[in-house]
């Protein structure tokens, strides 16, 4: 498929074409992150993983990561650093709405302290098991909870969280507006969304957006920065503010697949539910 091939596409960029097989995508995503959970070998995927990547390319604090067990940091597969998007106060309730093996989740648990809570939600059983095990190894089990669930329907009450964090998963959602509305629903008034995600330098054609393999590669469902800001506002978030940009796929096989057709990178941003 040629990435530059264009056809008329009447649907918003943050939705998928009507013929798109969302169930097939979900199966591919679960299979991919099951592989990461079971065999976290750097270089074995189209994206970077691991603590060294988080430190060197995304600006994570090395000392903070050293406080966490390898059982989570070796499986880190984010595209930005949502914890750098804003403060996480002691005593806060933080929701990681696709927590993976738990690196961001446990860093949030350290930040909120013994009076706070960090709640992870994830679709992949093997990743949830890693997150639970890692919380126990880190001595954080009392302030960490991990739930099975989808980010389109978070298993949490309305207005129950102070902060929602998200790292590299919005691009995989077939209904981004619903995902962001769910994040807003569980936030209290004045609460913050700290989000990192893949961005493109131009919009894709409908043909590209209809290809599940490209979605599973973190490209087919990615947005441009203007579209990302727009869908955040559509979902009811105010003040979307990009705080960092990252060349998160440099050195992987992903750029070679597209050449000069499109530039794939990532951003970290903060947005807020109005009080």
Tens-place pLDDT, residues 14-36:
565 555 566 776 777 777 777 87
CA distance 227 to 155: 27
Q: Look up tokens 């270089």; give the residue.
A: 43
pLDDT bucket at 3, cuts 50 / 70 / 90? very low
Mean pLDDT for 118-140 is 96
Token duo for residue 43: 């270089």
Mean pLDDT for 192-202 is 96
Determine the length of the chain.
Answer: 275
pTM score of the predicted model: 0.90
Q: For a pLDDT cut of 70, what percent of the chain falls above it?
A: 89
Q: Which domains does the chain have, with CATH numbers?
A: 22-272 (3.40.50.150)
Residue 42, pLDDT score: 75
- Tens digits of residue pLDDT in 153-184: 999 999 999 999 999 999 988 899 999 999 99
CA distance 89 to 101: 23
Range with the poorest average pLDDT among 5-14, 64-73, 135-144: 5-14
Mean pLDDT for 199-228 is 85
CA distance 92 to 160: 10
Residue 254, pLDDT score: 76
Residue 136, pLDDT score: 98
CA atoms lying within 13 Å on the CB side of residue 180:
29
Asked whether the predicted pLDDT for residue 266 surpasses 80, the reply is yes
- Tens digits of residue pLDDT in 57-110: 999 999 999 999 999 999 999 999 999 999 999 999 999 999 999 999 999 999
Mean pLDDT for 125-132 is 94
Ranked by mean pLDDT, which of 56-70, 211-225, 249-263 comes out on top? 56-70
Considering Cα of 58, then 61, then 64, then 68, what sign does the dihedral take? Answer: positive
Mean pLDDT for 110-125 is 96
Token duo for residue 107: 């860093």
Asked whether the predicted pLDDT for residue 132 surpasses 80, the reply is yes
Which of 216, 234, 211, 91 shows the shortest CA–CA distance to 163? 91
Bridge pairing between strands 238-246 and 264-272: antiparallel
Mean pLDDT for 225-234 is 96
Which of 112, 223, 98 shows the shortest CA–CA distance to 166? 98
CA distance 115 to 92: 8
Neighbouring CB atoms inside 10 A of 70's CB total 13
pLDDT higher at 262 or 3: 262
Residue 196, pLDDT score: 98
Crossing angle of helices 22-38 and 125-137, in 10° steps, is 40
């Amino acid at each position: 498929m040629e990435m530059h091939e264009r056809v008329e596409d009447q649907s918003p960029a943050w939705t998928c074409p009507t013929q798109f097989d969302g169930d097939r995508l979900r199966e591919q995503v679960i299979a991919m992150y099951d592989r990461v959970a079971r065999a976290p070998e750097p270089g074995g995927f189209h994206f970077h993983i691991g603590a060294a990547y988080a430190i060197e390319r995304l600006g994570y604090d090395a000392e903070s990561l050293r406080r966490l067990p390898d059982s989570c940091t070796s499986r880190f597969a984010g595209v930005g650093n949502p914890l750098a998007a804003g403060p996480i106060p002691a005593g806060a309730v933080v929701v990681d709405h696709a927590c993976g093996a738990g690196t961001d989740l446990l860093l949030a648990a350290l930040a909120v302290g013994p009076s706070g809570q960090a709640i992870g939600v994830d679709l992949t059983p093997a990743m949830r098991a890693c997150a639970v095990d890692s919380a126990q190894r880190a001595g954080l089990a009392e302030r960490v909870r991990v739930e099975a669930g989808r980010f389109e329907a978070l298993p949490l009450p309305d207005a129950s969280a102070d902060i929602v964090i998200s790292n590299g998963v919005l691009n995989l959602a077939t209904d981004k507006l619903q995902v962001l509305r769910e994040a807003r629903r569980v936030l209290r008034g004045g609460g913050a969304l700290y989000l990192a995600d893949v961005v493109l330098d131009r919009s894709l054609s409908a043909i590209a957006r209809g290809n599940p393999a490209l979605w599973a590669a973190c490209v087919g469902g990615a947005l441009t920065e203007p579209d990302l800001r727009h869908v955040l506002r559509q979902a009811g978030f105010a003040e979307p503010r990009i705080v960092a940009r990252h060349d998160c796929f440099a050195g992987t096989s992903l750029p070679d697949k597209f050449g000069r057709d499109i530039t794939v990178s990532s951003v970290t941003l903060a947005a807020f539910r109005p009080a």
